A and B are shown apart, each in its own frame.
Chain A
Amino acid sequence: MHRVLPLFIAAVLAVLLVMPSGAQPRVPAEVDAWLKQANLGPYAPSKEDWRAVYLAARREGKVTVYTSSSRVPPLKKEFETMFPGVEFEAFQLGTAASIDRLEREQRAGIYNADVIHASGYPAQYHRLFRRHMIFAFVPPELVNVIPREFREPLVAQRLEARGIFYNTKASPDSPIKSWWDLTRPEWRGRLSMVDPMVDASSLDFITQLVGSALPMAKDYERVFGQRLRLTTPNAGYELLKGILANRPRFFRRHGDALPVVGDPNATEPRIGISMVFSQLRDVKDPERGNLQAWAVTQLTPYAGMSYPSLMNIANRAPHPNAAKLLIRYFFGDAKGGQGMAPFLVPGNWPARIDVRPSDDPHWIPYEKINFKIMDPEAIWRVQTEVQDWWIANVR
């Protein structure tokens, strides 16, 4: 079997621990009727006749997906060649707008989207799934190669991750060993950060830091050899406070922060916080400015946060069979082709464990990085508190 497998088993356990059980409240009758008719949810057959699904999808004529990823619209051609007669309609909206738009439409009784393909696990879970606006669907034949936490309660296509990047020109090896190093005065004015006030995923990222207060406190003791004296509610906040004291520069998008962090002419070390791992594929590419940056892969207490990127079928999707086809397409084949292909890049890890890793030289095996897996429940619970604290403390 594959070497990633043990990791996924660990991940399963971790997610199972934090995942609420009995996830979705009882389904209303009319939604249930629709599920039955669409062969979804509890009515999904244990074996799909894909030929029949395709024929039905062709009758439906198209599939509509709201996606956070710019990598989806270019798939149109391939999808339509594979499934003639099914038009591929992708709305690239970004995570926040995808969720917001789907929710507004569902509330207004407009059923336009078939699939929502985006991250934002906490928001999707609480705002959409618990209100019966989205439903999980996994091709039955793939159940064995997709760990449970990527199937239930919501289906994930892959793992994404955020963490810390450093400038490899100024310091070939990671200049930091612990999160707490970032609070040292020598980093003053050298930190860049994707702004959690503007970017929802960065907000998730710092929320996760606060949520890891206990390991953070322990790590502080290890690094500085003394107990942390709290001036804020917990060690997570204390870390954020220390980082803010170094006056990081904020950027709207990770794409804006990367050229600063990876400046090939930099003479002093630079650090980027809340950088997206999948950007590693842009690094050192002369086409893209020959940026000199790499991810910190080993850090105490953890190097970054990994989180699932989801794809689920919307309530009353106008083209449920085409939606099923699309989900299967997104899972790709065992070679990592089809809809998985653009996501088989360094910094993304497919939910299918049978997929061979990319032969990209930058590919980093998941287990080489000490990630923390996103805890959607904790994030949902404390996020407003963290955001409030952040708003009140950023100067």
Chain B
Amino acid sequence: MDRERPVALAAVRAARWAGRRFVSPQSLLAALLLVVLAYLVVAPLFAVVTTSLTWQSGDTRFAGPDIEVGRFTLFHWQRVLNSELTRNLIVLPMARTLTVALGVMVIVTVVGGALAWLVVRTDVAFKGSIATLAVLPYVLPSWTIALAWLTLFRNQGVGAPRGFLEYALGWQAPEWLVYGGVPIIIALGIHYFPFGYLFLSGALKNLNTELEESADVLGLSSWQTLTRITFPIIMPAILSVLLLAFARSIGTFGTPAILGLPARYYVVATQIYSLNLTGRASQAYVVALALMAIAAVGLYINFKVLGTRKSFELVSGKGGRSRIVALGRWRVAAGAAVLLFLVAVALFPLLLLVWSSLMAHQGDYSLGNLSLRHWIGAGTPGINDGEPGVLRNPLNLTAMWNSIRLGLLGGAVCGILGLLIGYLVARVRGSLVVRLIEQVSFVPMLIPSIAFGAIYLSLFARGGLLAPALYGTFALLLLVTVGKQLPYAARAGISAQMQVSKELEEAASVLCIPWHMRFARILFPLTRPAFLAGTLIVFITTMRELSLYIMLVTPRIRLMATQAFWYTEVGFRQLADAFTVMLVVVILVVTGLVNLLNRLSGGRVRSVS
């Protein structure tokens, strides 16, 4: 009897604890997010790991017919990490990938940061146009920038058709400027600097300039103020930008394929893609996991730098005012220079695309060759197999609607999950569970799209433990979108929530305002720009994403990307270009509409700084 008493006591205590102790909404949220992530991320990750550690059906080619599919083996790891393939399969591509990522990170932060500073903190001329054009490069599919690059720089000297520069100036660019690491870095840098601009301008807007002014007063030089005060304070945003630039540049396949392959400049993304397509998924997964390990180091550094102690709350609930740097006589000159740059990097590729879509005959740039045939033509037998213009094909409209639906829904779900994750990370700093959530939410960034889609097909297509049968449903596409794009929204959410003082929420909890209302009425409105940014980033990405869906789409849920893929595959170059322009226009229009709706519904946060 006596021996049972402690047990009884413990039971009583536990019951009391459960009954009377107040279970914080944070713990409930953490539990919920853990479940969601287990479902969307951990299960696929687990599949990646097990696939890399077992024999697959195609592996009879490596190991003879006697292997048992699904049986444990270290073969794939050994081949990738310790064989004659290691150097070319992983070491070299990894080194190049990291080089590219580093270069892109620098461009994205420097260019994005400079633009953000100009727009937010100075009285530079043409602010409106700059702000609009600065996001355009991200709206363009990344390969359009790569192709525009080639159109400019390629030449007979590198064994390619003449580009504009050779044509106009007779100048033959050296090979390193046409193919390889340098153009990849530049093209990706151009494509992703809008990230830097969006995140950093958000942070700068929220930054209370009194913090900087106090440094000025203390006699710090402008440079010291920038490096010692401003940078550290907007560090979470900078880190987010760096992480995004890193993840995007290691994950992008199109640009390195166009600009890298001709010079045999393989990066990890091309390597993973090729292994996947040549029946070596297991080895692709090993490479992907190695990349994840490296990225984990990056995340760790991120944690170290951010720490759990330093606080970077920018929205403090205490008033403050911004100061604007007057550029004086540089105002117009600076604005014009920036505009020129943006036109070159953002508008030029788009114009090239538009022009190409208007060419009756491919490659003939004369004015007489312009025609609307590929846009609104009814289709001439014998030309493009009688395929009508892109606006004449009803399938394109269905595809458009599906893509928009998928992008916006996926974006909204991601945006909300991102804010929730950001909330936990910002509020419950240092907790192991929360760290786990943050880390795990980052993982899908590093699983290559095509593999991600294939894994989802295996996991979710058939009903079972995880879900009802989702094969061929829109829900499955939505699920895979949310799973794959979550990291981007999570980054946006984390950096937004980090900037909101926890006391703003505490004030409400003291007033007995329940958690869901605190979120809806206080946290959400304050982080709404980030939510919107996260949603739109997911939307834009989804609109063009192909490899993620190639294993999952059905003709019933045709997407714009699959249509574009088809045009390209058939070789209807102008139709493909017209369709890409249409895609860009759709993205711009929807993005504009969303922003407009947001503004109409009072979503503009009154300036708090």
State if A and B touch, Cβ cutoff 8 Å.
yes
* Contacting residue for A108 out of B384, B461, B573, CB 8 A: B461
Q: Which of B11-19, B156-164, B223-231 contacts A (4 or more CB under 8 A)?
A: B156-164
- Which of A7-15, A148-156, A222-230, A261-269 lies at the interface? A261-269
The contact string, 1 if C-beta is below 8 Å from chain B, for chain A 246-287, is 010111100110011001111110100000000000100011
A259–B266 alpha-carbon span in the complex (Å): 22
Decide yes or no: A388 and B362 within 8 Å by CB, A249-B159, A282-B571 being known contacts.
no
A/B interface sample: 22 pairs, CB < 8 A: A73-B566, A89-B554, A89-B555, A91-B553, A96-B278, A96-B279, A108-B457, A112-B471, A123-B58, A127-B58, A198-B274, A250-B262, A251-B261, A255-B571, A263-B160, A265-B162, A268-B156, A286-B364, A289-B364, A290-B362, A391-B88, A395-B88
> How many interface residues does chain A have, given as a range?
35 or more
A218 proximal to B (CB < 8 A) = no
Q: Which residue of A lies closest to B147 (CB)?
A: A256
Taking a contact as CB atoms under 8 Å apart, the answer to whether A250 and B457 are in contact is no
Is B299 on the interface with A (CB-CB < 8 A)? Answer: no
A-B residue pairs, 4 tightest by C-beta: A289-B363, A289-B362, A249-B262, A70-B570
A127 to B554, CA, bound (A): 23
Is the pair A287, B454 in contact by a Cβ cutoff of 8 Å? no
Name A390's closest neighbour in chain B (CB-CB). B88
Verify if A335 is at the interface (C-beta below 8 Å from B). no
- Known A-B contacts A190-B159, A388-B85; A250 and B363 likewise in contact (beta carbons under 8 Å): no
> Is A2's CB within 8 Å of the partner chain B?
no
> A91-B553, A92-B569, A105-B461 are known contacts. Are A197 and B274 too (CB-CB below 8 A)?
yes
Write the B257-296 contact mask toward A (1 if CB under 8 angstroms, else 0): 1100111101000110110011110000000000000000
Chain B residue contacts of A131, Cβ below 8 A: 57
A361 contacts chain B at the CB level, 8 A cutoff:
no
* B window 81-99: CB within 8 A of A: 84-85, 87-89
Report the bound CA distance from A286 to B271 in whole Å.
Answer: 36
Please list the residues of chain A having a beta carbon within 8 angstroms of any beta carbon in chain B: 70-71, 73-74, 89-94, 96-97, 100-101, 103-105, 107-110, 112, 123, 126-127, 131, 189-190, 192, 195, 197-200, 203, 247, 249-252, 255-256, 259-260, 263-268, 270, 282, 286-290, 342, 380-381, 383-384, 387-388, 391-395
B361 within 8 A of A: yes
Q: Are B568 and A265 in contact (CB under 8 A)?
A: no
Residue in A closest to B570 when the chains form the complex, CB atoms: A70
- Known A249-B261, A380-B61, A387-B278; 17 more pairs at CB < 8 Å: A70-B569, A73-B566, A93-B550, A96-B278, A123-B279, A126-B60, A127-B58, A192-B159, A195-B274, A249-B159, A251-B262, A252-B257, A265-B162, A270-B159, A289-B361, A289-B363, A383-B61
Q: Which residues from A are CB-within-8-Å of B277?
A: 96, 198-200
- Which residues of chain A come closer than 8 Å to B270, judged between CB atoms? 197-198
Interface membership of chain B positions 286-329, coded 1 if the CB is closer than 8 angstroms to chain A and 0 otherwise: 00000000000000000000000000000000000000000000
Q: Contact: B553 with A74, CB < 8 Å?
A: no
Residues of chain A within 8 A of B565, CB atoms compared = 92
B65 to chain A, nearest CB (A): 10
Q: Give Cα A287–Cα B364 distance, bound, in whole angstroms.
A: 9
User: B161 is contacted by which of A200, A259, A381 (Cβ under 8 Å)?
Assistant: A259
Distance (Å) between the CB of B86 and the closest chain A CB? Answer: 9
Contacts of A200 in B (CB 8 A): 277-279
Q: Does B62 contact A (CB under 8 A)?
A: yes
Q: Does B472 contact A (CB under 8 A)?
A: yes
B-side contacts of A380, CB under 8 Å: 61
B73 located at the interface, meaning its Cβ lies under 8 Å from any Cβ of chain A in the complex: no
Contacts of B179 in A (CB 8 A): 249
With both beta carbons as reference points, the residue of chain A lying nearest to B63 in the complex is identified as A384
Expressed in whole angstroms, the Cα–Cα distance for A289 and B573 within the complex equals 10
Chain A residues within an 8 Å CB radius of B258: 252, 256
Distance from A304 Cβ to chain B, minimum over Cβ atoms (Å): 20
Contact partner of A287 among B156, B159, B280, B362, CB < 8 A?
A: B362
The answer on a CB contact under 8 Å between B85 and A391 is: yes
**B271 cross-chain contacts in A, Cβ below 8 A:** 197
Chain A residues whose CB sits within 8 angstroms of the CB of B458 once the complex forms: 104, 107-108
The CA of A97 and the CA of B364, in the complex, are separated in Å by 35
In the assembled complex, the Cα of A247 lies from the Cα of B158 at a distance in Å of: 11
Task: Tell me the bound Cα distance from A266 to B273 in angstroms.
Answer: 32
Q: Smallest CB–CB gap between A78 and chain B, Å?
A: 12
Interface flags for B482-519 (1: CB within 8 Å of A; 0: not) read 00000000000000000000000000000000000000
Within 8 A of A (CB), among B164-216: 179
Q: Quick check: A392 and B278 within 8 Å, CB to CB?
A: no
In chain B, what residue has the closest Cβ to A195? B261
B114 at the interface (CB under 8 A from A): no
**Is B263 a contact partner of A249 (Cβ separation < 8 A)?**
yes
Which of A256, A267, A282 counts the most B-chain CB atoms under 10 A from its CB?
A256
- A105 cross-chain contacts in B, Cβ below 8 A: 457, 461
CB-based contact B257/A197 at 8 Å: no
**Quick check: is B385 within 8 A (CB to CB) of the other chain?**
yes
Asked whether, in the complex, the Cβ of A290 is within 8 Å of the Cβ of B363, the reply is: yes
The answer to the question of B479 belonging to the interface, with a C-beta cut-off of 8 Å to chain A, is no
A383: B residues at CB distance < 8 A? 61
Are B551 and A97 in touch, CB under 8 angstroms? yes
A103, B57: Cα distance in complex, Å: 9
- Per the bound structure, the CA–CA distance linking A354 and B340 in Å amounts to 63
Complex formed: what's the CA distance from A103 to B69 in Å?
13
Which of A126, A282, A391 has the largest count of B CB atoms less than 10 A from its CB? A391
Minimum CB–CB distance from A173 to chain B (whole Å) comes to 20
B28 interfacial contact with A, CB 8 Å: no
Which residues of the other chain, B, contact A255 by a CB distance below 8 angstroms? Answer: 568-569, 571
A90 touches B264 (CB 8 A): no
The answer to whether the Cβ of B10 comes within 8 Å of any Cβ in the partner chain is no
User: What separation, in Å, do the CA atoms of A261 and B94 have in the docked complex?
Assistant: 31
B566: chain A residues within 8 A (beta carbon): 70, 73, 92
Do B160 and A288 have beta carbons less than 8 Å apart? Answer: no
Contact between A110 and B554, CB atoms less than 8 A apart:
no
Q: Is residue B462 within 8 Å, beta carbon to beta carbon, of the partner chain?
A: yes
Residue from B84, B161, B361, B565 whose CB has the most chain A CB atoms within 10 Å: B161
Q: Does B337 contact A (CB under 8 A)?
A: no
A287 to B363, CA, bound (A): 9
Cα–Cα, bound, A62→B229 (Å): 66
- Does B383 lie at the interface of the complex (its beta carbon under 8 Å from any beta carbon of A)? yes
**Residues in A whose Cβ lies below 8 Å from that of B385:** 74, 342
The smallest beta-carbon distance between A6 and chain B, in angstroms, is: 33
- Whole-angstrom CA separation of A263 from B562 in the bound complex: 29
Residues of chain A within 8 A (CB-CB) of B160 are 249, 260, 263
A71 to chain B, nearest CB (A): 7
A90's nearest neighbour on chain B, judged by CB, is B555
One digit per residue, 1 when the CB lies within 8 angstroms of any chain A CB and 0 when it does not, for chain B 32-71 equals 0000000000000000000000000110111000000000
Distance (whole angstroms) from the CB of B184 to the closest CB of chain A: 14
Collect the chain B residues with CB atoms within 8 Å of residue A96's CB.
277-279
- Write out the residue numbers on chain A whose beta carbons fall within 8 Å of the beta carbon of B264: 247, 250, 394-395
**Smallest CB gap from B554: residue in A:** A91
B529 CB to nearest chain A CB (Å): 38
A276, B73: Cα distance in complex, Å: 38
Cβ–Cβ < 8 Å partners of B261 in chain A: 195, 198, 249-252
A126 to chain B: which residues have CB within 8 Å? Answer: 58, 60-61
Inter-chain contact B161/A101, CB cutoff 8 Å: no
Using Cβ atoms and an 8 Å threshold, which residues of chain A touch B472? 112
Which residues of B in the span 429-480 have a Cβ within 8 Å of any Cβ on A? 454, 457-458, 461-462, 471-472
Q: How far is the CA of A89 from the CA of B89 in the complex (A)?
A: 39
Instruction: Compute how far the CA of A93 lies from the CA of B273 in the bound complex, rounded to whole angstroms.
Output: 15
- Indicate if the CB atoms of A263 and B61 lie closer than 8 Å: no
| B280 CB contacts on chain A under 8 angstroms | 387
For residue B121, give the distance in angstroms from its CB to the closest CB of chain A.
43
In this complex, the member of B270, B274, B553 whose beta carbon has the largest number of chain A beta carbons within 10 angstroms is B274
Known interface pairs A250-B262, A270-B159, A394-B264; A97-B550 also in contact (CB < 8 Å) = yes
CB distance from B374 to the nearest CB of A (A): 10
Complex Cα–Cα for A289 and B264 (A): 27
Bound-complex Cα distance A70 to B262 (A): 25
